């Protein structure tokens, strides 16, 4: 077998390129989307790369025909026998048919963009579910490169492809893990008003009361007296140790001397624009050597641009997981789904104020099911 790779702006063009150079009897054995060019990862162009294979016997037949034999000799149509004329004419017709099919493949790619009412309906559904325009543009480009005309007119295929697109950009972490011989330190960070204190109380109740693990509560928050009192009340009701942390050394000492399986750490809500406050919190967290399990808490009601800004600026706290709160307070979740990536794993979602009931492990399918597709199939 002979193997080669071909690259083009779209999958259809890559296939056409392969067939033109190697003949129509090639086998496509691999396909992937790649990005090239740009600057620092920005403005890169999308390409489709395919790997094709061709039987060497087919190549040898072409070579043999070219080097000798009746097929390689110039033919005078007017001096040939009737059988030779039929052979010659059928060859021309076959070649013209192949050219026609290749041209159809090229024009079909463009039809995906302009001719599919279902494709446009899908875009309308995404806009209604608060997916941002730049995300939709990226999705449009991907679909135009990969979908056939037939697929672009099938609403079930479009929904399935969209779900696949979302699912491949989301990773879930599973439940919080206990430490091995030392306490696991779980820290919740995020802006004000996202429900960190209530969420940490739910987690503490789940692991400490329901699962009977040794759990301790800390708060790094000298700003919100009401929040400290609220968490202290929860700790009292659940009969869990509770400590207020003000300095790096206090945090280091509390973790070092803890006999718990899990330490849950609440922090003061800080605006993503408060660089000094974020740096101060980072300094305190750096006081211990053990790995911290840091979760960024985001409200499902957060607007797209704000959520993107929060995720970017809170990176200095080196969070590795995301908790989405207040799922019950919104009908759309496109703004958050559109900025998820596999580097930041989804851990939990909260669905109400009740402690400890309204919290559960994050599930991709549950989030996808919040997208309303009724209008997509109507009409």
CA angle at 306 for the pair 314 and 376, rounded to the nearest 5°:
125
Would the pLDDT of 129 be above 50? yes
Q: 52 with 28: CB under 8 angstroms?
A: yes
**Residue-level pLDDT at 113:** 46
**Residue-level pLDDT at 252:** 92
Q: What pTM was estimated for this model as a whole?
A: 0.67
Q: Which of 231-245, 332-346, 353-367 has the largest mean confidence?
A: 231-245
Cis check for the bond before 356: say yes or no (omega within 30 of 0).
yes
292-299/321-325 β-pairing: parallel
- Which CA distances in Å does 324 have to 22, 161, 229, 277, 297? 52, 25, 24, 22, 6
Q: What digits encode the pLDDT tens for the residues 250-299?
A: 999 999 999 999 999 999 877 777 788 888 889 899 888 677 999 999 99
* Residue written as token pair 């990773």: 171
Section 129-151 average pLDDT: 82
Least confident piece of the model among 157-166, 257-266, 369-378:
369-378
What are the structural domains, with CATH classification, of the chain?
A: 2-73 (3.30.1660), 184-362 (3.40.50.300)
């Amino acid at each position: 077998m002979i193997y080669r790779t071909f690259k083009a702006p779209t999958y259809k063009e890559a296939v056409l390129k392969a067939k033109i150079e190697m003949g129509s009897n090639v086998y496509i054995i691999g396909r992937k989307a790649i990005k090239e060019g740009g600057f620092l990862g920005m403005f890169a162009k999308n390409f489709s790369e395919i790997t094709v294979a061709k039987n060497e016997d087919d190549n040898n037949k072409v070579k043999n025909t070219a080097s000798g034999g009746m097929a390689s000799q110039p033919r005078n149509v007017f001096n040939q026998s009737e059988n030779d004329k039929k052979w010659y004419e059928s060859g021309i017709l076959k070649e013209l048919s192949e050219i026609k099919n290749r041209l159809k493949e090229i024009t079909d790619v463009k039809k995906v963009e302009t001719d599919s009412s279902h494709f446009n309906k899908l875009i309308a559904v995404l806009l209604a579910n608060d997916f941002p325009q730049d995300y939709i543009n990226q999705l449009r480009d991907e679909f135009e490169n990969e979908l056939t005309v037939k697929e672009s007119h099938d609403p079930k295929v479009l929904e399935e492809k969209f779900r696949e697109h979302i699912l491949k950009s989301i990773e879930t972490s599973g439940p919080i893990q206990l430490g091995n011989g030392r306490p696991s330190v779980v820290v919740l960070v995020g802006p004000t008003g996202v429900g960190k204190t209530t969420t940490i109380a739910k987690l503490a109740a789940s692991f400490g009361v329901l699962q009977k693990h040794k759990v301790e509560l800390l708060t790094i928050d000298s700003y919100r007296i009401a929040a400290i009192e609220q968490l202290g009340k929860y700790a009292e009701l659940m009969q869990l140790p509770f400590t207020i942390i003000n300095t790096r050394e206090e945090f280091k000492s509390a973790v070092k001397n803890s006999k718990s399986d899990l330490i849950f750490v609440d922090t003061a809500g800080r605006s993503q624009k408060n660089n000094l406050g974020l740096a101060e919190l980072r300094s305190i967290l750096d006081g211990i050597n053990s790995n911290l399990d840091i979760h960024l808490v985001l409200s499902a009601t957060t607007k797209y641009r704000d959520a993107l800004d929060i995720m970017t600026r809170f990176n200095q706290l080196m969070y590795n997981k995301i908790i989405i709160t207040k799922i019950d307070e919104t009908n759309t979740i496109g703004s958050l789904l559109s900025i998820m990536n596999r580097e930041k794993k989804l851990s939990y979602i909260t669905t109400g104020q009740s402690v400890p009931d309204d919290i559960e492990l994050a599930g991709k399918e549950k989030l996808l099911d919040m997208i309303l597709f009724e209008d997509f199939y109507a009409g």
